[in-house]
């Protein structure tokens, strides 16, 4: 049960971040200022209100699943999650709140563009880190197999 919960929470968190990024880019390219302000508002609420519990559940369930492991794969996953958390708390959340404030005030100037760019870069970094953690999670749960990939035998051939 914990494994399923962990996977679903991680998938939800990654999908939410990807949705935030995708909607931000789309509305920036084709939307009017009112639409941009609406997207920024929705990212803050209910977006962050859904993302924070999903990330917390991912972290807590992951720690529970890994409580008896002590290997390099787990160490890499934990290090990445520290980076994801720091990125989210120190860059992404403040950017989301500030961009919402700027957009609601109609201030779509160079400052908005700089913070939007920072948010997009940090969001892409988090998606990449979370994708690497998903890959390593699959390896940990399936005896180092990656879904959709055949493992090679010692002779270099597929089984």
3-state secondary structure the chain: CHHHHHHHHHHHHHHHHHHHHHHHHHHHHHCCHHHHHHHHHHHHHHHHHHHHHHHHHHHHHHHHHCCCCCCHHHHHHHHHHHHHHHHHHHHHHHHHHHHHHHHHCCCCCHHHHHHHHHHHHHHHHHHHHHHHHHHHHHHHHCCCCCCCCCCCCCCCCCC
Q: Does residue 55 surpass a pLDDT of 80? A: yes
More confidently predicted of 154 and 118: 118
Q: Does residue 11 surpass a pLDDT of 60? A: yes
pLDDT on residue 150: 46
Is the CB of residue 140 less than 8 Å from the CB of residue 73?
Answer: yes
Q: Give the range among 10-14, 45-49, 78-82, 154-158 with minimum mean pLDDT.
A: 154-158
Q: Tell me the fold of 2-141.
A: 1.20.120
The per-residue pLDDT of the chain, averaged, comes to 90
pLDDT on residue 69: 84
Quick: pLDDT tens for 105-117.
999 999 999 999 9
* pTM summary value: 0.83
| Mean local confidence (pLDDT), 63-74 | 88
């Amino acid at each position: 049960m914990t494994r399923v919960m962990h996977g679903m929470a991680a998938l939800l968190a990654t999908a939410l971040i990807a949705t935030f990024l995708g909607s931000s880019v789309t509305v920036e390219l084709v939307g009017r200022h009112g639409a941009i302000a609406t997207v920024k508002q929705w990212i803050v609420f209910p977006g962050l209100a859904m993302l924070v519990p999903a990330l917390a559940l991912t972290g807590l369930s992951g720690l529970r699943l890994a409580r008896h492991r002590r290997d390099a794969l787990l160490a890499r996953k934990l290090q990445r999650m520290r980076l994801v958390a720091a990125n989210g708390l120190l860059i992404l959340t403040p950017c989301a709140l500030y961009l919402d404030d700027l957009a609601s005030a109609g201030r779509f100037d160079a400052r908005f563009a700089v913070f939007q760019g920072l948010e997009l870069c940090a969001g892409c970094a988090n998606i990449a880190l979370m994708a690497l953690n998903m890959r390593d999670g699959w390896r940990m749960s399936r005896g180092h197999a990656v879904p959709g990939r055949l493992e090679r035998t010692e002779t270099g051939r597929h089984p």
